[in-house]
Amino acid sequence: MSYAELHCHSNFSFLEGVADPEDLVNEAAHLNLAALALTDRDGVYGVVRGARAARAAGLPMAFGAEITIGAHSLVVIADGARGYARLARTLSLGHLAGSKGAPVFTISDLVEGLAGDAWVLTGCGRGMVPTALMKEGPRAARSRLEQLVAGFGRDRVLMELWDHGDPVDSARNDALVAVAAHVGVESVA
């Protein structure tokens, strides 16, 4: 079975990622990953270095960002050159709307800027859907997921699952899969 890492922070995501984009690409190639998506926090800071390294390693590379929306986040992966251009513009507008180190994004900003040209993953522990599930229950998680589907399209939203060895990972993932099935959205792990 092939595996592509779709949510990866480089050292450009301060306190979240520790490796240079080149090191991430080289390790992904060493592990024979099918592809790597670089999704730094609120920016595409490692895109040039990551793209160069991926080209040299023969590794397919995607670019996106984990975008902060208030206390939550959403992972967005650009679909092609048009998607990347729209992502870069949307990120720039969010940074201009905020202050240094504190960009301002809303779901409607992301929908307006990216719908049709990006893939949306529900995110990890700070993601709006998983957070709703853990704090408010399945109904709230379905509501947040339906909001994403309404904005981006059912074929563009994916429920993100992860297992980092936390005792709640398995039960949370089972509940997220059930929410995704109820809404008619595919899951990625």
Q: Which domain-ending residue is among 97, 121, 145?
A: 121
Residue bearing tokens 């997220």: 176
- Please tell me the distance from the alpha carbon of residue 53 to that of residue 66, in angstroms, as a whole number: 21
pTM value is 0.95
Tally of structural domains, the chain? 2
pLDDT higher than 80, residue 1: no
Q: Which domain-ending residue is among 121, 149, 176?
A: 121
Tell me, what amino acid is at 176?
A: L
- Please tell me the distance from the alpha carbon of residue 33 to that of residue 8, in angstroms, as a whole number: 13
Q: Which domain-ending residue is among 121, 150, 181?
A: 121
What CATH code is carried by the domain that includes residue 105?
A: 3.20.20.140
Confidence at 17, pLDDT banded by 50, 70, 90: confident
Size of the chain in residues: 189
- Please tell me the distance from the alpha carbon of residue 56 to that of residue 34, in angstroms, as a whole number: 15
pLDDT digits (tens, 9 = 90+) for 87-106: 999 999 999 999 998 999 99
Q: Which domain holds residue 149?
A: 124-189
- Domain co-membership, 24 together with 95: yes
pLDDT digits (tens, 9 = 90+) for 18-67: 899 999 999 999 999 999 999 999 999 999 999 999 999 999 999 999 99
User: What Rg do the C-alpha atoms of the chain give, in angstroms?
Assistant: 16
pLDDT digits (tens, 9 = 90+) for 136-149: 999 999 999 999 99
DSSP label of 21: H
136: its two tokens: 């408010």
Helix (H) or strand (E) holding 107: helix 107-114
12: its two tokens: 């450009």
- Domain co-membership, 32 together with 105: yes
Confidence at 132, pLDDT banded by 50, 70, 90: very high
List, in order, residues 6 or more apart from 188 with CB less than 8 Å away.
Answer: 6, 121, 158, 159, 160, 161
Query: 64 vs 47, 76, 171, CA distance in Å?
Result: 9, 5, 28
Phi, psi dihedral angles at 139 (to 5 degrees):
-60, -45
Residues paired with residue 76 on neighbouring β-strands, in sequence order: 65, 120
